[in-house]
Amino acid sequence: MKIVVLDGYTLNPGDLTWDGLAELGELTVYDRTAAVETVVRAARAEIIFTNKVILSREVLAHLPELQFIGVLATGYNVVDIAAAAEKGIVVTNIPAYSTPSVAQMVFAHILNFANRVELHATEVRNGKWTGHRDFCYQSTPQTEIAGKTLGIIGFGKIGHSVGRLGHAFGMKILFHNRSTKKDAPAWATQVSLEQLTRDSDFISLNCPLTPDNREFVNRKLLSLMKSSAFLINTGRGPLIHEADLADALNRGIIAGAGLDVLGKEPPHPHNPLLTARNCFITPHMAWATLEARNRLMGIAVENLRSFLEGNPRNVIKAG
């Protein structure tokens, strides 16, 4: 079996091994593949793995030998699922591999707003403490998150994990979900989106992107937030109307935003959030701990192995 990985660098920049896939067929790994290179590189491959390289209906039409597509991520919008189904191509994804890492990043942003550790460490290094009149020094208010309200939009695996961490910190946990969570833990309360937005000190976006919620965090929703509240997004960039958020930050409508994802990645240099007041942006790295990437690699190998054994798993169905 000919196996081609179209864009393997983000999964494995050199600290993991492709040996598991190499054991299952003739493996070729490309760090990155431009759109114009996709058909040539994937030609005659029975197995393709992709992270962000798009496999459209047009591309799939040029790959008659293709039998299996492994998406090296949870989201699978890079593949035309309907076209793959018509051609009998099995498409799999990698669910739930990054849950602990993404939840950890949510709290990295929350704790950044609460304590600003890096800022104070830098100021100490620059002599601000040594020249101070008092035994302690702080350039920003220090905030205790115990007792604060954490609102979570999307209470799937990651949202639940974020809530569990918040509960351990002594926070009050509210969540909003598309469906009723009858098995929600006792420490979490399901509420309407409006109530969550009005009552929360921190709001964490952990919902999938759908046609119905694209840019739902807009001027109207932001106006409902407390002026002291913070928005955290480790979900999908297009959940937020970026110009509206930048305006809300610059005008002090909300206190700050911590974003690991943007609508376009890498961002355009004129994205207004890059210079917005109290906006801290990390470069889509919440998923990318060594531990999470190692889990991703292992699941990708097992997805292919199961397919080759005639019992495919983590299959994405059309429609």
Local confidence band at 222 (pLDDT 50, 70, 90 cut-offs):
very high
Query: 93 pLDDT band (50/70/90 cuts)?
Result: very high
Q: Please check whether residue 143 lies inside any domain of the structure.
A: yes
The pLDDT of residue 318 is 86
Q: Does 319 map to a domain?
A: no
Q: How many domains does the chain have?
A: 2
pLDDT of 241 > 80? The answer is yes
111 with 81, same domain? no
> Confidence band (pLDDT; 50, 70, 90) for 246?
very high
Report how many helices (DSSP H) and strands (DSSP E) the chain contains, helices first.
11, 12
Looking at the domain assignment, is residue 316 inside a domain?
Answer: no
Kindly state whether residue 272 falls inside one of the protein's structural domains. Answer: yes
Give the pLDDT confidence score for residue 113 in this predicted structure: 98
The tens digit of pLDDT for each residue in 34-45 reads 999 999 999 999
Residues 164 and 185 in one domain: yes
pLDDT computed for residue 121 by the predictor: 98
Q: Is there a single domain that holds both residue 269 and residue 126?
A: yes
Q: How confident is the model at residue 226 (pLDDT cuts 50, 70, 90)?
A: very high
Are residues 76 and 182 both part of a single domain? no
Looking up residue 272, the CATH number of its domain turns out to be: 3.40.50.720
Same domain? For 151 and 260 the reply is yes
Pair 250, 108 in one domain:
yes
| pLDDT bucket at 239, cuts 50 / 70 / 90 | very high
The reply to whether 313 falls in a domain is no
315 in any annotated domain: no
Q: How far is CA 12 from the centre of its chain?
A: 18
Beta strands in the chain (DSSP E): 2-5, 26-29, 47-50, 68-71, 90-92, 149-153, 172-176, 188-190, 202-205, 230-233, 256-259, 279-281
Would strands 188-190 and 172-176 be described as parallel, antiparallel, or unpaired?
A: parallel
Residue 233 pLDDT more than 90?
yes
Residues 252 and 299 both lie in one domain: no
* pLDDT score, position 103: 98
The answer on pLDDT for 85 being more than 80 is: yes
Closest alpha carbon to 12 in 261, 236, 265, 292 = 292
254 and 156 within one domain: yes
Work out the average pLDDT over 285-312. Answer: 98
DSSP assignments along 246-304, one per residue: HHHHHTTSSSEEEES--SSSSPPTT-GGGG-TTEEE--S-TT--HHHHHHHHHHHHHHH
Judge whether 73 lies within some domain: yes
Examine the domain organization and report whether 201 and 275 are in the same domain. Answer: yes
Q: Is the pLDDT of residue 319 over 80?
A: no
Answer yes or no: do 131 and 158 share one domain: yes
Whether residues 70 and 192 share a domain: the answer is: no
Report which of 155, 174, 161, 167 is spatially closest to residue 103, judged by C-alpha positions. 161
Q: How confident is the model at residue 89 (pLDDT cuts 50, 70, 90)?
A: very high
197 lies in which domain range? 99-281
Residue 314: inside a domain: no
Active-site annotation, residues: 236, 265, 284
Mean pLDDT, range 170-191, rounded to an integer:
97
Query: What integer best gives the mean pLDDT of the chain?
Result: 97
For residues 43 and 90, membership in a common domain is answered with yes
Residue 296 has pLDDT above 90, yes or no: yes
Whole-number Cα distances in Å, 69 to 22, 63, 75? 16, 11, 13
